[in-house]
């Protein structure tokens, strides 16, 4: 009343989550003739406690955890000759769920839909093995294997005939086998091309009784053409395509892609740059997908305003002799991503 906010105890709560991660790591690197060896080990101890303070009574208001993990990694590179090199890479890592996905409080999205977190959600662990061949420092061919245990995904579950809710659960172990090829080359002095192809199989092996396993083969393509035209004009034509794939471990998506075109002109000794860009010219990037979990059939589509026209004008005030600053990432980036919304 009178424009003042009203407290609704059914839609209010406080979720206190404390997490302490202690880590120690060691790295070893050695160059021996044509071999380069690199090995590392990271040990992490995690202690966490989540506590929901709410007027709604739930059976999981406090969850405590304590666990220790070992993450070895390493690689061997062999320089066969001036034109060929081989590499074998191995890594382990952990991905923890976002903080909001741990909050067990239930809130309403619309008349039929609700969302709540899962305080019993476990981290997912990824093991990667990759064999890579490089020819003349340009043509790259790789075969990789990735295994994720306790893969977590946001799923939609039905509760009765008139209610469904979104929740994140550990649903499967994921396996991906990928063959990738990338190659930058020049057709003419004024025409350069970059192409990459990835053919992979995604396999989700159910660990949740209500989840149905999924196996999907996918072909992904990307290409970019750059044309250096007279009078400091530059034309770029690029695009990507993906055949049917799996998104989020539960949704089977249909084919999608995008065609982008941009033209650029430089002035004033290349200090002033004007760029006109057209993105998703054919408007083929919106997605369509379907899922079943559990006994609830979902068909959806969506996207954004991907078909756009942009004009940019930029002027470089700095000296070309000064090196550009490098972007530096740290472990804090992972924590920022876990904040979610």
Above 90 in pLDDT, residue 34? yes
Say what the pTM is.
0.81
Above 70 in pLDDT, residue 335? no
Dihedrals phi, psi of 9, to nearest 5 degrees: -65, -25
- Give residue 331's pLDDT band: very low, low, confident or very high (50, 70, 90): low
Under a CB-based contact definition with an 8 Å cutoff, are residues 65 and 46 in contact? yes
d(CA 261, CA 259): 7
Task: Find residue 275's DSSP bridge partners.
Answer: 264, 312
Task: Find residue 237's DSSP bridge partners.
Answer: 225, 261
Question: Where would I find the beta strands (DSSP E) of the chain?
Answer: 13-32, 35-54, 62-79, 84-95, 106-108, 113-116, 124-135, 139-158, 164-188, 191-206, 214-229, 233-242, 245-247, 251-253, 256-267, 272-279, 287-292, 297-302, 308-315
Which of 65, 120, 129, 125 lies closest to 95, judged by CA? 125
CA angle 199, 201, 203 (to 5 degrees): 165
pLDDT at position 310: 95
What is the total residue count of the chain? 341
CA angle 238, 240, 245 (to 5 degrees): 175
d(CA 92, CA 112): 41
Distance of alpha carbon 8 from the chain centroid: 37
Please report, for residues 167, 173, 174, the alpha-carbon distance to residue 126 in angstroms, rounded to integers and kept in the order given: 22, 10, 9
Average pLDDT for 19-38: 94
**Any idea which residue has 């305080």 for tokens?**
119
Average pLDDT for 52-63: 69
Give the number of other Cβ atoms within 10 Å of residue 30's Cβ.
Answer: 9
Above 90 in pLDDT, residue 178? yes
d(CA 99, CA 338): 6
Above 90 in pLDDT, residue 16? no
pLDDT at position 249: 83
Under a CB-based contact definition with an 8 Å cutoff, are residues 40 and 75 in contact? no
Torsion angle of the four alpha carbons 93, 203, 134, 85, in this order, in degrees rounded to the nearest 10: 60
Please give the share of the chain, as a percent, with pLDDT higher than 70.
88
pLDDT greater at residue 3 or residue 208: 208
d(CA 258, CA 244): 15
Under a CB-based contact definition with an 8 Å cutoff, are residues 188 and 209 in contact? no
- Give residue 13's pLDDT band: very low, low, confident or very high (50, 70, 90): confident
Average pLDDT for 108-134: 90
Which of 18, 199, 227, 3 lies closest to 102, judged by CA? 18
Under a CB-based contact definition with an 8 Å cutoff, are residues 121 and 168 in contact? yes
Using one digit for the tens of pLDDT, what is the confidence trace for 99-120? 888 888 877 788 778 888 888 8
Between strands 113-116 and 164-188, the pairing is parallel
3-class secondary structure, 259 = strand
pLDDT at position 63: 85
Q: Share the mean pLDDT of the chain.
A: 88
Using one digit for the tens of pLDDT, what is the confidence trace for 212-233? 889 999 999 999 999 999 988 9
Please report, for residues 95, 258, 322, the alpha-carbon distance to residue 325 in angstroms, rounded to integers and kept in the order given: 29, 31, 9
Average pLDDT for 116-132: 94
Above 70 in pLDDT, residue 205? yes
Above 70 in pLDDT, residue 10? no
Please give the share of the chain, as a percent, with pLDDT higher than 90.
60
105 burial class (0-12, 13-18, 19+ CB within 10 angstroms)? buried
pLDDT at position 334: 66
Above 60 in pLDDT, residue 290? yes
């Amino acid at each position: 009343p009178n424009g003042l906010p009203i407290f609704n105890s059914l839609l209010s709560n406080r979720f206190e989550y404390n997490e302490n991660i202690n880590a120690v790591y060691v790295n070893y690197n050695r160059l021996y003739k044509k071999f380069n060896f690199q090995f590392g080990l990271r040990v992490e101890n995690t202690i966490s406690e989540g506590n929901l303070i709410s007027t709604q009574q739930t059976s999981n208001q406090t969850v405590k955890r304590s666990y220790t993990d070992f993450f070895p990694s390493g690689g061997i590179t062999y320089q066969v000759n001036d034109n060929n090199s081989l590499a074998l890479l191995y890594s382990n890592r952990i991905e923890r769920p976002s903080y909001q996905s741990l909050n067990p409080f239930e809130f309403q999205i619309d008349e039929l839909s609700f969302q709540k977190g899962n305080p019993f959600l476990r981290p997912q662990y990824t093991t990667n093995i990759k064999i890579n061949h490089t020819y003349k420092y340009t043509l790259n061919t790789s075969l990789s294997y990735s295994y994720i245990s306790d893969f977590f995904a946001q799923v939609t579950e039905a509760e009765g005939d008139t209610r469904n809710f979104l929740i994140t659960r550990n649903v499967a172990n994921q396996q991906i086998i990928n063959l990738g090829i990338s190659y930058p080359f020049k057709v003419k002095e004024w025409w350069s091309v970059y192409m990459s192809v990835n053919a992979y199989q995604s396999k989700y092996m159910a660990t949740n009784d209500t989840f149905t396993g999924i196996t999907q083969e996918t072909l992904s393509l990307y290409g970019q053409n750059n044309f250096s035209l007279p009078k400091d004009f530059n034309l770029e034509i690029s695009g990507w395509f993906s055949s049917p794939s799996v998104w989020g471990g539960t949704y089977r998506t249909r084919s999608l892609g995008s065609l982008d075109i941009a033209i650029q002109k430089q002035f004033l000794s290349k200090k002033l740059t004007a760029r006109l860009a057209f993105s998703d010219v054919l408007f083929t990037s919106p997605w369509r997908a379907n899922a079943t979990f559990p006994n609830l059939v979902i068909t959806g589509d969506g996207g954004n305003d991907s078909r756009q026209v942009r004009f940019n004008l930029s002027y470089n005030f700095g000296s070309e002799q000064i090196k550009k600053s490098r972007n530096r990432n740290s472990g804090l980036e992972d924590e920022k991503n876990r904040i979610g919304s």
